[in-house]
Amino acid sequence: MKVANMLVRMKGRNEMIKRLSNDDALPWELLLEADPEKELVEDYLEEAIIWGYQSQNSGRLTGVLVLKKQRDDLYEIMNVSVDEVEQGKGIGTLLIKEALATVSNATQDCCKVQVKTGDTSKPALALYKKNGFEIKEVIENYFIENYSEPIFEDGILLKNQVILEKMV
């Protein structure tokens, strides 16, 4: 199935959200910023839908979102990352809206979209809540028990995983 790229206008600039495949040059720096375990990322990329946000002016990918179907009634946003310089400009929201629209178009019945992040990830939590996601569960010590190296965000050890959900 051929998927058309979506051209959007943001603040007077032409930008594009484009569907990526594993054959494309993936934005590994962005992917690993959101999830530092490369083997885990490689595993979920195999059966996922990947979008990149690309500036038409520079041609550079400055945002990425990875969506994976877990079951017929459940999709999971596995990874969302926006270049630090571009954060706060609506790129994350555009990528999330594209993912939600894809899920909505792919399912006839109501479907749940889930995203998991760290409890110290304040900007990510704000982004998801702004886009209608609600906190459903917190898993204590998830990152300590499941990642080989400690993860720090703004000098704070990341321990707990927050699971957010939205019905589509």
In CATH, what number is assigned to the domain containing residue 104?
Answer: 3.40.630.30
Q: For residue 135, is it within any domain? A: yes
Residue 1 domain flag: no
Spell out the alpha helix ranges (H) of the chain. 28-34, 38-45, 91-106, 122-130, 142-146
Positive or negative CA dihedral for 129, 131, 137, 140?
Answer: negative
Is residue 68 in a domain? yes
Using a cut of 0.75, tell me whether the model's pTM lies above it. yes
Place of tokens 């571009």: 86
Q: Does the residue 85 lie in any domain?
A: yes
Q: Is residue 157 in some structural domain?
A: yes
Q: Domain limits at 48?
A: 6-167
Q: Per-residue pLDDT for the chain (168 aa), expressed as one digit of tens each?
A: 233 455 554 444 567 899 998 788 899 999 999 998 899 999 999 999 999 999 777 788 999 999 999 999 999 999 999 999 999 999 999 999 999 999 999 887 889 999 999 999 999 999 999 999 999 999 999 999 998 899 999 899 999 999 999 999
- Residue 124 within a domain: yes
Distance CA 154, CA 82 (A): 17
Q: How many domains, in total, are found in the chain? A: 1
Place of tokens 């959007």: 8
